Amino acid sequence: MQTIGFSCVNIKDGFWKTKQDMLKNTTVDAVYDRFVETFRFDALKCQPSEKYIPHVFWDSDIAKWIEGACYLLAKEKNPDLLAKVESAVDDIIAGADENGYFNSHYLVTEQQDRFKFRNKHELYCAGHLIEAAIAHRDATGSDRFLRAMCKYADYIEKVFKIEKSAGFVTPGHPEIELALVRLYLCTGEKRYFELAAYFIDEHGKHGESVVETASPKYNQDEMPLCDRETIDGHCVRALYLFSAAADVAFMRGDRKLAEACRRVFDNLVNKRMYITGASGSTDMGEAYTIDYHLPNRTAYAETCASYALALFGRRMFCLEHNAKYADAVERVLYNGFLSGVSLDGKAFFYENPLEIDPEFNGYSQATVRNARFPITQRKEVFSCSCCPPNVIRLIASLGDYMYSYDDDVLYVHQYVNSVMECDGMTVEQITEYPKSGSVKLKFDTHGRKLALRIPGWCRNFKIDRAYMLTGGYAVIADASGVVNVEFDMAVTLIRANRRVHSNAGRLAVMRGPVVYCAEGVDNGKDVRNLCIDLDSKFEVKASPFLLPTLHTTAYQQPESDELYAVAKDNWIQTPLTLIPYYAFANRGESEMIVWLLEK
């Protein structure tokens, strides 16, 4: 089983083309400018400055930006962008220590503390630098950055695996494991895979905390990965770690580790994931909590965790041919990940709540202090600005998530208007999905069967060829031709498991893979009171949010001066406008809710 990379996929038109255009026209420069303004690029020169002390994780922000920029450059020339990339790469190569080490903090200050403290993100930054170098090689053809990063990887192998001279055994924030697997695939050097596998295998065997005050659980370190039943601790760390674990399990045929990955994935999507695909139920430790604890207003739901679920799902498919993995990728792409970026491409959410009440949130946060809420408007940069470059990385590399193949079958995971060409296979998708549910696929699988994912949200579909359903995929025996698929895009009302107490008595509205929300700007105050029922009929209207808005009649209680009154059947009708969740908070601060009352 192999996953087809985005370099083989050209997105031609439609929803994701618009988002990719937004990246190249706005986001990549906006993020660059903010990183320049905050001295992150200056810091690469590794010179002491009075203006700033480089944070230990600044290099990761830059590396992810380089990686994302290189994904864009791989598709389309852009001398100005290339010059910015090359300048940063020059500084990194020039600044690296003789032994290959690079970290713009420890090269300038606290030199004696390199690789001493597990929570200092050096290996996390190293991983991102390696991924950036691979992307740079792919985009430019030059391997100068890659060579520097191979040298750094060699040094890391020496310190951590050969000499074991570091202050800790495994990375405090996983990421390098993913990068080392990619470095192996890129260079063919097996040592890199073995170092990745070493970090995965040692993880949880040493009860290492990141800091003394944190529980090993924070860091997935309370047990070996193979023994894990649930997803726990810091959500981005957990998902990066298990994405790499899935790589390792697949590449060395490790069934025990693969089983653990499957259990963890299932625990996440069946018990700990928001309907948007986002996850992480608390900002305390940016972490998972317990099954079914999914508070909407205080959701942590970090954009990076949503990104990481896409990474994890993409890898899990190699271990098990089940549509649930691509379902999760699709869920997060259109919802909990995409909400992380504003419609103009300039501003970002770190956290993506499913409900906002500016008046009560604002009061509670400022005054009561025992409740803490996500911010309600996106920001252009954060002191910990991990999410913005992940937005660039994922949207620019969206083609990575669309196809896998083995000798017998070519799997189509996502429906995007695009052309794929790889190893003699071609698939052209002609579609406005998910605006419409019609997808025409012109395909030549080079002798393979063609497997089309039937999205988990889809109750009715038509395929104009014979097919067999297996693992959530409709498998067509033909190796070439045209197939027309029609997914029913009816608006669907979703109920959460009754154990999710925050959603008791409430319904979410979806159309295809897209989760909708109601904002105060359209619907007035007290959106928590808006009721719909199972018979609600929705009108679908074109909108400036690319995907349509939904319109129906809702019910709400009348305004009143009484605090408590005898309940009457006195609901009043009110027009209800729902917008795609990803588009919330683009029109000023406003109430917002995903889970509407059921009447």
Residues with a known catalytic role: 286, 386
| Residue 288 or 349 having the CB closest to its own copies | 288
Going by C-beta distance under 8 Å and a sequence separation of 6 or more, which residues neighbour residue 100? 148, 151, 152, 153, 154, 155
Task: Cite the beta strand spans of 178-243 per DSSP E.
Answer: none
Q: Are 49 and 42 in contact (CB under 8 A)?
A: yes
Can you tell me whether residue 229 is helix, strand or coil? coil
Contacts of 515 (CB under 8 A, 6+ apart): 275, 276, 334, 335, 508, 509, 580, 581, 594
Question: Which residue shows structure tokens 């995903």?
Answer: 594
Residue 261: partners with Cβ closer than 8 Å, 6 or more residues away: 242, 245, 246, 249, 316, 319
Closer by beta carbon to its own copies, 271 or else 453: 271
> How near is the Cβ of 392 to its own copies at its closest, in Å?
29
User: 85 or 510, CB closer to its own copies?
Assistant: 510
Asked if 84 contacts 409 with a C-beta cutoff of 8 angstroms, the reply is: no
For its own copies, which is the closer residue by CB, 52 or 363?
363
Report, in Å, the least distance between residue 557 CB and its own copies. Answer: 4
Do β-strands 9-11 and 355-356 pair in parallel, antiparallel, or remain unpaired?
A: unpaired
Token pair for 391: 């937005």
Cβ 168 to its own copies shortest distance, Å: 24
What SS3 class is residue 133?
helix
Name residue 264's amino acid: V
**Cis bond upstream, residue 434 (ω within 30):** yes
- Give the nearer residue to its own copies in terms of CB position, either 165 or 560: 560
Strands 572-580 and 418-422, sheet pairing: unpaired
CB of 321 to its own copies, least distance (A): 21
Smallest gap from Cβ 356 to its own copies, in A, equals 11
CB atoms within 10 A of CB 539: 12
Our CB check for its own copies shows the closer of 58 and 555 to be 555
CA separation for the pair 339, 348 (Å, rounded)? 8
For its own copies, the closer CB: 368 or 468: 368
Please give the structure tokens belonging to residue 533.
Answer: 């029922």
- Shortest distance in whole angstroms from residue 231 CB to its own copies: 13
For its own copies, the closer of residues 43 and 278 by Cβ is 278
Does an H or E element contain 510, and which? strand 506-511
* Residue pointed to by tokens 């430019």: 140
The minimum distance between CB 385 and its own copies, in angstroms, equals 23
Torsion of CA 585, 586, 587, 592, to 10 degrees: -20
Q: What are the CA-CA distances from residue 424 to residues 406, 417, 448, 476 (Å)?
A: 13, 20, 11, 18
Parallel, antiparallel, or unpaired: how do β-strands 531-532 and 473-476 relate? unpaired
CB of 395 to its own copies, least distance (A): 25
Binding site for its own copies (CB under 8 A): 269-271, 273, 275, 281-284, 289-290, 292-293, 298, 357, 359-360, 363-364, 367-372, 459, 492-501, 504-508, 525-526, 528-529, 531, 534, 556-569, 597-598
| Token pair belonging to 404 | 């896998």
Can you say how many angstroms the Cα of residue 31 is from the centroid of all Cα atoms in its chain? 18
Cα atoms found within 13 Å of the Cα of residue 269, Cβ hemisphere only: 23
Euclidean distance between CA atoms 231 and 233, whole angstroms: 7
How far apart are the C-alpha atoms of 46 and 103, rounded to whole Å?
Answer: 8
Report the nearest approach of its own copies to the CB of residue 273 (Å).
Answer: 7
Q: Which CB atom, from 378 or from 528, has the smaller least distance to its own copies? A: 528
Amino acid at 269: V
